[in-house]
């Protein structure tokens, strides 16, 4: 339980209680503050008021910011690759194959289950502090808030596009140059698993640049402005450069011409989209300093790239 207290400045005279709270305790969301007011956990000079009640200035405000259990998810002892941790923040390197949070078909064995085992207090935060997600078969960096103020800060940064997220991806096809895809994304009208570029979808902006070219494939670095579901996979498929191994958006599997034995073996066994969340940058919720983490790509993608290079030399 956290008890917050403050004195209402005279310049806030005439403002509503909910507006004053949003100014005084900006690290918490307006909806959470209103919930506490309605639950009687906010007092003004010892009295419980309504959110719309106006203040005169000079009052003493106290908030009983008692965290409430919001997670209906079982803690499971699943190993975590923790890149960074402090009292407010966790940075996780998620392996390919690990689902981020429970959903139909995956109620257990997820990253969220693992987080609750590692830090039980996360059961008071939405989705155990998970602020964003990456697909099951995508590897790489994820941020997790450990406190409600940190969660509010990171969500705001995401909404205001202040989080730096960069990915490495391997495409089918040889790109000539980088570029930007600025196309809205929405659910497929007939297949609820898939997403597509559609005019009534949500805004989605993806920047990409070439890192390395092969005879029939390209390693690219991708930077997200928005964070739509399957965004990189959908946008790359839309411009006819789907990701290697993408079984949803990559089309029918075809072995490229002049493919050596090693490359053929690796391509046939590569059953996930070749996508890795390599870099994550954010303003730390406690220090207000910009922090950045980089996680090199996993061995399966390294092996894939090595096979492309070797094949091109023959």
Q: Identify the active-site residue in 135, 182, 288, 300.
A: 135
Return the percent helix, strand and coil in the chain, to nearest 5: 25, 30, 45
Residue 15 burial (CB count, 10 A):
18
185, 164 Cβ separation under 8 angstroms: no
228 token code pair: 């739509």
Task: Clarify whether 10 is annotated catalytic.
Answer: no
Element of type H or E holding 165: strand 164-172
Tell me phi and psi for residue 236, to 5 degrees: -70, -40
What lies within 8 Å, CB to CB, of 81 at 6+ separation is: 92, 93, 94, 95
> DSSP character for 13?
T
Answer yes or no: are the C-beta atoms of 134 and 94 closer than 8 Å.
Answer: yes
Whether 51 and 16 have beta carbons less than 8 Å apart is answered as yes
**Of 302, 280, 303, the residue nearest 291 (C-alpha):** 280
Q: What is the DSSP letter of 54?
A: B
Supply the angle between the helices 17-24 and 30-38 in degrees, to the nearest 10.
Answer: 130
Q: Give alpha helix (H) positions in 129-230.
A: 148-159
The catalytic site residues sit at 135
């Amino acid at each position: 339980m956290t008890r917050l207290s403050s004195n209402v400045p005279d310049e806030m005279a005439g403002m509503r209680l909910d507006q004053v709270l949003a100014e005084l305790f900006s690290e918490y969301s307006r909806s959470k503050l209103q919930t506490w007011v309605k639950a009687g956990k906010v007092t003004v000079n010892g009295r419980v008021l309504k959110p719309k009640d106006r203040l005169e200035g000079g009052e003493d405000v106290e908030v009983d910011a008692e965290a409430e259990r919001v997670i209906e998810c079982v803690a499971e002892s699943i190993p975590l690759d923790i890149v960074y941790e402090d009292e407010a923040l966790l940075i996780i390197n998620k392996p390919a194959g690990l689902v981020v949070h429970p959903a139909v078909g995956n109620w257990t064995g997820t990253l969220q289950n693992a987080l609750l085992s590692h830090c039980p207090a996360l059961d008071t935060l939405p989705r155990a502090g998970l602020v964003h997600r990456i697909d099951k078969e995508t590897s790489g960096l994820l941020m997790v808030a450990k406190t409600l103020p940190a969660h509010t800060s990171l969500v705001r940064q995401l909404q205001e596009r202040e989080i730096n997220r960069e990915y490495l991806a391997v495409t089918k096809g040889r790109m000539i140059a980088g570029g930007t895809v600025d196309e809205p994304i929405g659910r497929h009208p007939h297949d609820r698993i898939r997403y597509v570029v559609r005019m009534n979808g949500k805004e989605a902006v993806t920047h990409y640049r070439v890192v390395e070219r092969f005879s029939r494939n390209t390693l690219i670095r991708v930077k997200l402005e928005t964070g739509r579901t399957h965004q990189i996979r959908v946008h790359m498929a839309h411009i006819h450069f789907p990701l290697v191994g993408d079984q949803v958006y990559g089309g029918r599997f075809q072995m490229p011409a002049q493919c050596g034995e090693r490359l053929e073996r690796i391509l046939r066994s590569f059953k996930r989209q070749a996508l890795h969340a390599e870099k994550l940058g954010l303003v730390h919720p406690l220090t207000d300093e910009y922090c950045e983490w980089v996680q090199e790509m996993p061995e399966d993608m390294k092996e894939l790239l090595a096979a492309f290079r070797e094949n091109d030399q023959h």
